[in-house]
Amino acid sequence: MTSAPVGVIAGSGDLPAIVARKLREKGKKIVVCSITPDQNGELENKADVYFSISPSEFGEVPGRLRSHGVKKLLMVGDVDKTQIYNQRKIEEADDTVKDELKQLKNKGDQKIIQVAARLLRLKGLKVIGVNEVLEEYLTPIGHVAGPEVREEELLTLDILENIAIKLADHEVGQAVIGKKQSVVAVEAAEGTDRLIRRAGELAGNNCVMLKLARSNQDSRFDVPVVGKETLEELAKIDASVLALEAGETLLVQPEECARIAEESGICILGWERKNRGWRRIFQWLK
């Protein structure tokens, strides 16, 4: 009996194409719903079925996926959150999207994603975790690539950790950049690339960046991801360290990332977050 195809709701960035390649390697059929432009056509080429739709038309997505036999799906890639600030976009949205946005008092990333997942589940679709497909890319503990981290950089990362946890848990952003034991810039709606550029303008070279998952991160979606584009941006500002929470963040395109790290003198470090184990226990007890 032929297995049902796997659905991919694809945002921007490299991750959707990486997921599609991995699913192909596993012999899966793929139905892709792209909610951002597929700029190089890679997703369309890899999909058995491909269609694109605006985020404001999300109410149509479950029916279209089910019509192609999809029962399980992944939600991967970035979505431009600034669309929720555009009143014209809201007015053009389908009734499902309008109704859900009206009911949401908190329009943080996690809440919006949870609503999308609930809508899919109510229509008989199961959201599976990107880490189930890309488990091999979870960041290990310790030195990953590039030069060894220096003591001063570790002291700065220690300062950044508590700030990064609070920002991530309050759905502000998941990355913080610092230098000389102080905060230079924090991530918000602008995204990681613009955060890096801003930090370079403010503090120059030798900045360090820390990216963490939320304390209650749902590993089915919105897992923090870093790929070669982030390393390229860090190289442009002559940053010295990229620290990623070990076991909770994905380092995709690892060979390319390692090459850029070696060439640019950037240390890639798997950061072991303090008290993560206890936080997990408290989460399970809730």
Structure tokens at 58: 């999300």
Q: Which residue has the higher pLDDT, 69 or 95?
A: 69
Residue 283 has pLDDT above 60, yes or no: no
Fold of 6-128: Rossmann fold (3.40.50)
| CA separation for the pair 144, 166 (Å, rounded) | 26
Output the DSSP codes for 118-136.
HHHHHTT-EE--HHHHSGG
Mean pLDDT, residues 199-216:
95
- The kind and range of the H/E element at 99 are helix 95-103
Question: Residue 89 has what pLDDT?
Answer: 52
**Which residues are CB-contacts of 54 (< 8 A; sequence separation ≥ 6)?**
35
Would you call 103 helix, strand, or coil by DSSP?
A: helix
The second-level CATH assignment, the architecture, of 136-285 is 3-Layer(aba) Sandwich (3.40)
Residue 224 has pLDDT above 70, yes or no: yes
| CA separation for the pair 63, 79 (Å, rounded) | 21
Question: Residue 147 has what pLDDT?
Answer: 98
Residue 282 has pLDDT above 60, yes or no: no
Ordered by start, the domain boundaries in the chain are 6-128, 136-285
Q: Give the residue among 174, 139, 153, 151 at the shortest CA–CA distance from 241.
A: 153
| CA separation for the pair 10, 65 (Å, rounded) | 13
Task: Please give the share of the chain, as a percent, with pLDDT higher than 90.
Answer: 55
Average pLDDT, the chain: 85
Question: Residue 221 has what pLDDT?
Answer: 63
Phi/psi of residue 173, nearest 5 degrees? -175, 170
Phi/psi of residue 195, nearest 5 degrees? -60, -45
Structure tokens at 268: 């890639």
Query: Rg of the chain over CA atoms, in angstroms?
Result: 19
**For the segment 138-183, what is each residue's pLDDT rounded down to a tens digit?**
999 999 999 999 999 999 999 999 999 999 998 889 999 999 999 9
**For the segment 57-83, what is each residue's pLDDT rounded down to a tens digit?**
888 889 999 999 999 999 888 776 555
